[in-house]
Structure 1
Amino acid sequence: MPAHPRSEAPDTLDDLRRALHQERQRNAQMAQELEHLRERVREAERYRFLFETMEEGFCIIEFIPGPDGQWVDYLHLMANPAYCRHAGLPDVVGRTLRDVIPDEAEIWLERFGQVERTGEPIYFEHDLYATDRCLGLAAIRVEPAEHHQVAVIFRDVTARKRAETALQALNAELEQRIDQAVAERKVFADLIDASVACVQVVDRQMRWQAINAATRKTFRQLFGFEPELGTPLADCFAANTSDGQRALTLWQKALSGEAFIEIDAFGEGEARRHFEMRFAPLHGDDDQPLGAYLFAYDITTRIEEQQRLAQAEQALRQSQKMEAVGQLTGGVAHDFNNLLGGILGTLELAGLRLRQQRHNALPPLLDNAQGAAQRAAALVHRLLAFSRQQTLQPQPTAIAALVDGMRELIGRSVGPQIALHSHSDADLWTVRIDPPQLESALLNLCINARDAITDNGAIHITCQNVEFDEQHCGPLDLQAGQYVCIRVQDNGRGMPAHVLARALDPFFTTKPLGRGTGLGLSMIFGFVRQSGGQMDIESTPGQGTSVRMLLPRHLGEPEPLEVPATALTAPQTQGRARKVVVVEDETAMRLVIAEVLEDLGHQAQLFENGPLALAGLQAEITPDLLISDVGLPGGLNGRQVASALRQRYPGLKVLFVTGYDETAALRNGGLEHGMSVLTKPFSLRQLAERVDRLLKA
């Protein structure tokens, strides 16, 4: 502060007062200037504080000219701590640029020299190669220009720069991946659109979301329209009731979350096509249901080929059967002649004994005739089974009881010169089969064994429980599980390999013409396979043959086997006598049925054919039962007669009798309630029991 001149001594009191006032003014001015000075000091301290603590790096540089007046270097006049922190260059104050970072000196001289020359501020980002950092810098010229100074402020933007670089690389990678995914999706889309399969995708509201070209073409051919994206399926299928409803049902099943395969046909007439449809639910990344999709393959050609193949196989089988008729004729004639000879001879003897009044000799003769007739009936049934696939009537069966019940019949069939042995496990399991078919199969196997034994020999029948796991059931073409094994083993001549290989072939036989019926092992094999089992044969020439029938175990109690009755006893009937209409073209059979009905206490009305029955019953009271042959002369068969009479008399009970197998009565629609079938020949007791059962139902 400048020194104030000392005033002269006052002459008067006024002069003294003026001097004091002036002194006070000078002191106030000095105090004000002192406060201003203190404020500038405080402001300088604040700036120093900011300078020292600010996050941005700051420095002032002064350029150094060379001999030619060009800038060759600059000096760091001042720098804050952030400068050292961000730039990674400590102790730069008082040092030149070339002393601090000589390798990058020309770059910085060019940048900041332009600011010093033009006075225009700049902002830029720059990588410090010496310290592997990136700085964001702003530079301005410090006035006056003749000081040749530039102020620089900057931040370390290394982290942001690296993040941006990484983001740019990531974006580039994502763009590349997106381009690749788009390309892949286009390839797949092109493949699906060009696929022969019909591909569809629907959302949970059952609207189309994706449709390929094959689908559009197929819909035009089958339904007369093309599906459009976003259109509800229900709207499009409204005019296609049958096909549309089935399609909607399948889509609803898929939208419920079920994946499945369905085979069905759509369209009408020549445009009808068969499809194998593979439905599956569609889920998003979060496993939430989005809809369902379908791949449908046109398998019409395959179905047609399969049908043609089935027809060709059927024609081949029929041709083979016709070819086998020649082989069968001799054996059938032989067996029938034997049976008829026994029946005729027995009846002739019975007539002779009647004339001789030897009535006690009649029962055994009649039993012989009945037995021969039953064997003839069994032969006819085997021929019927040979001509068509016979309908099985399986029931839970105790195998041990069945085999024990056949011992006497098998023993008589194989003859006394062959020893017959049988053994069954004590706890033999139950199986579900058709008992008469198994009896026929077992008898056939024992007769084959008899024919393979030259002189004396033995036949062993064993029944035992067996169980197969996955490893051992594969070669047998069976599912793993529990089975009953029925083995028929002989010590006959056996079969060579080439005969064994064809033993199960239909109509293959090594027997001479005229020996046996020729029905062979193929029928037994068919019965076993129909029953869910398997059959195999082991044979060694000179040692014998072993045949196994493997039948699946049934978890249930066996039903009692029927025991044939020896005589007719009328069932106990209650109430009034019933009226029974009998339509039968065979006079003897018609009279036998009438006799049985009269013995049962019923009234029988007999007709030879259908038209006579329909005409004769017009004015009659309502009948209780109709007994009709299936095959009738006169233009109406038994089914037609039954239908006409049931329309006239609702609830009429019907018993069909037929000389064919039961499938003849079922061919035209099956049996309705109150109908039954009885196969000829039948015993009088069987007829009586069936009539009583129908009338009581």
Structure 2
Amino acid sequence: MDSIEFEDLQRRLKALEEENAHLKALGAADQTLRRRAESALAESEERYRTLFNSIDEGFCIIEFFDGPHGPLSDYVHVEANPAYTQHAGIPNVVGQKVREMVPDEADGWVELYSDVLRTGRPIRFERELIATGRHLELAAFRVEPASRKQVAVLFQDITARKRAERELQQLNETLEARVVAALAERKLMADLVEGTDAFVQVVDPDFRWLAINGASAREFHRIYGILPKVGDNMLELLEGQPEHRDAVRAVWSRALAGEAFVEIAEFGAPGRARRFYEMRFNCLRDGSGRPLGAYQFSYDVTDRLKEQERLREAEEALRQSQKMEAVGQLTGGLAHDFNNLLTGIIGSLELLQIRLGQGRIKDIDRYVTAAQGAAKRAAALTHRLLAFSRRQTLDPKPTDVNRLVMGMEELVRRTVGPEIAVEVVTSGGMWATLIDASQLENALLNLCLNARDAMPEGGRLTIETANRWLDAHAAAELDLSPGQYVSLCVTDTGAGMTPEVIARAFDPFFTTKPIGQGTGLGLSMVYGFVRQSGGQVRIYSEVGQGTTMCLYLPRHYGKEADKPSPPPTRNAVRSEASHTILIVDDEPSIRMLLTDALEEIGFNVMEAHDGPSGLNILQSDARIDLLVTDVGLPGGMNGRQLADAARTTRPALNVLFITGYAENAIIGNGQLAPGMQVLTKPFVVEALAARVLEMIKDGTGRT
């Protein structure tokens, strides 16, 4: 290699070295620029990300792709800020496709945003996202270059604003209609008030009319001869009629004081027609409750009151007619039964007198027995009538109904016969009831006999006891007070009863049995006895399904009464008969019978025909061990008054009231003072003697 070539090579090498050094210098500068660019880009991206996540509006970038519905027919959310969920109501949308998110709305959203992607024109619009019920305000623009197939969307939730706009629009649309309707309603009300027959008045606290309709003004003019108008003072208009002015002031003052009331009164000046008015007064107040005056609605009720009086008189006449019909039925039944019984008594006594006059005593016992039997049946008939009318004399004591029923079971079985199966169902823990046990036994036997008659071919009879709690509803249906009751029910499997028969079942002398097989007093007696005892009777029956008769008796909270001791015998009476008895009765035949009966068994007897005569004896020094007095005495002093007067001087005096009628107001409905008892007429001598001895044994009778 020559020197020229070497120098040339050196020059080239040097040039290469210089070029390499220059290149190195350029590379170092480019590296610095790249680092700076990357740092600037990172800072820019951080600012963008901070802005992206911090703005209040929802923001997202969507990217279109070809789908099953065609080119660019779907898009996916590639970015979304946290505010997206707040405004759209859909969380975690990044990666979600629009056709998966809102399939029913996807076509509409794709159409809007694909147009932005295709044309590059940004859009602003409002649209409801139906899936979440949100109204959105949106802006969308294409992300360049177009080849990225992306669109940016900025939006916010305007649901509240849209709702307010819609409500405001509806209010504006209906405001005019409401005003028109209000004016029409006001006119309608004014027309109604003016056109009504009611008398309408409104006054202020000074008694000046704020309003008065035509009917009221005309009526005022008709009554008082003065035609009022709004602004007039009603008291000043009636200045010349002080009586009516004071009456008007009295009723209006109550309303002006705040009272709401209804009053019916008669108004009218002398010489003019006076009418009755029903006046309804109320206080007139403003929206805050402050009184502004008073108003009145009045109606002329004169004709209505006359019609009510006419109806009352017609109803009274109807009730009187029904009473007379009931009395006719009652007296007819009484006449039939008593005439039969009296025929037996009178005929027996006549034949007895004839046989005695003939000296023939062979048939005397038969006639006496017949007369006694008829008399006892008459007494039983009277007793049933008193039971129906709730006037019989009762001797109530605390009673165990279970014990009473079980004690009668064998008697019931024998009475109804072998064709009828008898079942007794008693409840445990039965409450006591305050009742006349003997009368309850009669009532139960009566119900069982009725059940037997309802089952001529045989059947089943069930007697059942139970404790009953009656609430207000159940008690009202039974016409009783709410509380605790004892029930005694008798059920048969007989033919049952129609509603018409049930309605009349308790009427006296009503019976469905053939003539001669029933008096029609059995159920009426049961009903009267139970009602007098504070209870109720109910019939539950259907034709062909049998009948249940239930007695509801009030619970007694005391203890059950001790069993009564057996009555003394005639011999026991004679052995104790060393006492004096005063008999007071206005009927001479009864005094004679009582005196003879008591003297015949050894008692000393004194007599008086009325209360004052008996009191004279009782206030004397005579020894009296027992007072036997009728309750109903003439002379202004009844038996109870006589006993009370006698006890002021003889406090330990025992008293036996005898009565054919239970004057409960006098003897206290069975609640007599200690040492007082009642014996109901008629009675046999044995019963009188036993009761007298029992009372004398309770105390010496000495005073």
Q: TM-score, normalised by structure 2?
A: 0.43
